[in-house]
Amino acid sequence: MIINFLFAAIKAGTPLLFGTTGEIMTQKTGNLNLGVEGMMFMGAFMSFFVAYHSDSLVLALLAAFAIGVFAALIYAVLTVSFMANQNVTGLTLTIFGTGFAKFFGAMMIDEAGGSPKLSGKFLKAVSEKAIPVLGDIPVVGKLLFSHNPLVYLAVAIAILCTLYLLKTRSGLNMRAVGENPGAADAAGINVTLTKYLHILVGGGICGLGGAYLSLINGGGIWNNSSVVNGQGWISVALVIFASWNPAKAIIGSLVFGAFSVLQFYVPKNIIEVPNAFYVMLPFLITTFVLIITSMRKSKEGSQPAGCGVNYFREER
């Protein structure tokens, strides 16, 4: 029971992990992109569309990544090159992304004459499989080594991003750009290029989160109204919970995943709470996390100092 619960928590937390990692990469370079929800929506649609027509998981993921990059590119052009307000641009991207996915989603439904459904072959490719040998270990095998391939992908990306941030030269340069673009610029770092690069990669990773939602959580059926459903927003909040560290986001998304599946695992005859309470729970926790973390004061593990402010070299 507990194992099943944790297993489900990991499954539900994975899209959040994608979204959070993507947003961390974006914020670390000094841009607050509130368009995660939109980018996830676009990724969800694109991956489903491609999977529906090609039956290929790799192509579906590439498509999700690509559309995320494209959405982030719009955001980057507006904020980095044209100095548009980051909050407004991000919010607009969310609205745009949601509309984009719903519009083309409706077209796809029309075309298919009913809710489109992914082929059995494809669903098999993304199904949960125990890794040979490792998967046979009791408890641990089920918990850690019996997931669908995207779970491993999410964890691998989060760990790679952490290593990149902390151990590489370009990761250091990128953190400097996020903290103090003026200083980074004076040190000879190309601020614009650095920002573009990481905003785009961050967007791509968010797109993958969308793919997870439509390909796995959706059960292979396209549902036009509730694919992403606020997960993008929770991801943004999780960035703070994870104190801008993708490795910590693994834990964070697990916790949030646990809350979102809690309703199915609390025995109904013991505690009786309306379902709506459980649906609300992740958002309630998000609120608390935001309140608690905003009281914490330290330079490390807090928002990059230059985050949210556009940089123009000649302005002082």
Partner 1 sequence: MKNEAMAIELKQIRKTFGSVVANNNIDLSVKQGEILALLGENGSGKTTLMNMLSGIYKPDSGSIFINGHSVAINSPEDSIRLGVGMIHQHFKLVEALSAADNIILGAKEKGFFLNRSRSEKIREISKRFGLEIDSEKKVYQMSVSEKQTVEIIKVLYRQADILILDEPTAVLTPQETKRLFEILRRMKEEGCAVIIITHKLNEVLEISDRVTILRKGESVATVETAGTSAQELTELMVGRPVELSIDHPETYFEENLLEIHHLTVCDEEGFEMIKDISFDLNRGEILGVAGVAGSGQKELCEALAGLLPVKKGAILYHKENLVGKSPAEIIKMGISMSFIPEDRLGMGLAASMGMVDNMLLKTYNEGKGPFVSKKAARELSKRLVKQLDIVTPSVDTPVRRLSGGNVQKVLLGREIESQPNVLITAYAVRGLDINSSYTIYDLINEQKQKGVGILFIGEDLDVMLELCDRIMVLCNGKITGIVNAKDVTKEQLGLLMTDASGKGGHKS
Per CB under 8 A, residues contacting partner 1 are: 167-170, 172-173, 175-176, 179-180, 182-190, 299-300, 304-305, 313-314, 316
# residues near ligand ATP by CB under 6 A:
3
CA distance 5 to 179: 39
Mapped onto helix, strand or coil, the DSSP state of residue 221 is strand
| DSSP structural state of residue 29 | T
Give the N- to C-terminal CA distance of the chain in Å, as an integer: 59
**27 vs 94, which CB is nearer to partner 1?**
27
Residues 256-295, one symbol each (x = binds ligand ATP by CB under 6 A, - = not), give ----------------------------------------
Q: Tell me: does residue 300 bind ligand ATP (CB under 6 A).
A: no
Angle of helix 169-179 relative to helix 149-167, nearest 10 degrees? 80
Residue 182: CB minimum distance to ligand ATP, A: 12
Cα 180 from chain centre:
25
| Residue 101 structure tokens | 């996915």
CA distance 214 to 218: 5
Residue 182, CA distances (Å) to 59, 84, 314 in order: 40, 18, 10
**147 vs 198, which CB is nearer to partner 1?**
198
- Partner in contact with 3, chosen from ligand ATP, partner 1, none, beta carbon below 5 to 8 Å by kind: none
**Stretch binding ligand ATP (CB under 6 A), from 107-115, 144-152, 292-300, 308-316:** 308-316
Residue 180: CB minimum distance to ligand ATP, A: 17
Asked if 53 and 183 touch (Cβ cutoff 8 Å), the reply is: no
Q: Tell me: does residue 312 bind ligand ATP (CB under 6 A).
A: no
With the CA atoms of 79, 81, 83 and 86 taken in that order, what torsion angle do they form, in degrees rounded to the nearest 10? 10
- Partner in contact with 39, chosen from partner 1, ligand ATP, none, beta carbon below 5 to 8 Å by kind: none
Residue 158: CB minimum distance to ligand ATP, A: 40
**112 vs 309, which CB is nearer to partner 1?**
309
Q: List residues binding ligand ATP (CB under 6 A).
A: 314-316
